[in-house]
Amino acid sequence: MTTLIEGKTVAQKIFDNLAHEISLLEKKPSLAVIIVGDDPASKIYVNLKKKKAHELGITSQVIELDESVSEQELLKKIDSLNNDPAVNAILVQMPLPEHINPVNVIEKINPLKDVDCFHPYNIGRIATGNKSYVYPCTPKGIFRLLDFYNIPVEGKHAVVVGRSNIVGRPLAQMLLNENATVTICHSRTKNLSEITKTADILISAAGCPALIKKDMVKDGAVVIDVGINRKSDGKLCGDVDFENVKEKASFITPVPGGVGPMTICSLMCNTMDLFKLQN
């Protein structure tokens, strides 16, 4: 029996609770989003975040800066938001134009307002096994799914495919902090399938369609697909060959509707957590 992990439904439950909690507050949490330039995909993401914040009763402001803005001007803007007590959470939409160093931008955000959890202080807290102010949105979203479906992590062999700073690396640290035995795989990993076959929990965040095939998965494994890829017909797919792998998995996430909705959900929860921390 395979259980489909329904991220959309889980996210909606969390949104309902969050909206109720916010409705009881006199002062509302507040999120500031900075977008630089006209990248159409970035604009769509920013609008989605703004819309969701509005639905939940979170105050949001979008600061649109011209593509030509200097790094210095952007850092100055972040500083003014850092010093504004009416702003609880700051997000700078990535990617940034080439003349701006994202490291300087991320490090400028006050870790207490770092809603994406990209700042080395917050990431470092997680890497050293301590509690952080917030947790990276996609990894935290995956943890919320595991929690919701009562999937234990302790003592399990978790294999994470992908080592990016926003998904694979922090996710592996968080699994380790929850006492999983963790293996991280990446593009130079040899014998990927030999490793994935030993996973109790297999999480793929590689961005490669059909990377994870049925013969790479252990019977009864929990399979979490972070990948978002576009097929030639325009439809979305994950990294996992869903139709075939689902025959073997005990739990599996679909794409779309699995991990995806949990990322924005974590962003809104992080905004609330930072608001609480500052009040």
To ligand NDP, the closest distance from the beta carbon of 77 in angstroms equals: 25
- How far apart are alpha carbons 49 and 42 in whole angstroms? 11
Phi, psi torsion values for 206, nearest 5 degrees: -110, -25
Strands 236-237 and 229-230: antiparallel
To ligand NDP, the closest distance from the beta carbon of 215 in angstroms equals: 15
Closer CB to ligand NDP, 69 or 161, in the complex: 161
The answer to whether the peptide bond before residue 102 is cis (omega within 30 degrees of 0) is: no
How open is the CA angle 44-47-49, to the nearest 5 degrees?
110
DSSP alpha helix (H) spans, the chain:
7-23, 40-56, 71-82, 102-108, 120-127, 137-148, 168-177, 192-196, 242-245, 260-278
To ligand NDP, the closest distance from the beta carbon of 165 in angstroms equals: 8
Residue tagged 């293996």 (tokens): 183
**Residue type present at position 262:** M
Q: How far is CA 60 from CA 14, 82, 103, 155, 225, in A?
A: 19, 15, 24, 41, 30
Closer CB to ligand NDP, 189 or 244, in the complex: 189
- Is the backbone of residue 234 left (phi > 0), alpha (psi -120 to 50) or beta? left
Active site residue 116: yes
Catalytic residue among 52, 77, 93, 273: 93
Q: How far is CA 207 from CA 140, 146, 158, in A?
A: 19, 21, 19
Run of H or E including 92: strand 89-92
Active site residue 93: yes
- How far apart are alpha carbons 162 and 204 in whole angstroms? 7
Closer CB to ligand NDP, 177 or 189, in the complex: 189
Closer CB to ligand NDP, 17 or 187, in the complex: 187
To ligand NDP, the closest distance from the beta carbon of 152 in angstroms equals: 23
**What secondary structure letter does DSSP report for 214?**
G
Closer CB to ligand NDP, 17 or 193, in the complex: 193
**Which residues sit opposite 158 in a β-bridge?**
182, 201
To ligand NDP, the closest distance from the beta carbon of 192 in angstroms equals: 6
Catalytic residue among 114, 116, 225, 273: 116
Q: Which residues bind ligand NDP (CB under 6 A)?
A: 138, 161-164, 166-168, 185-189, 192, 205-208, 211, 226-229, 259-260, 263
To ligand NDP, the closest distance from the beta carbon of 83 in angstroms equals: 30
Closer CB to ligand NDP, 97 or 209, in the complex: 209
Residues designated as active site: 49, 93, 116
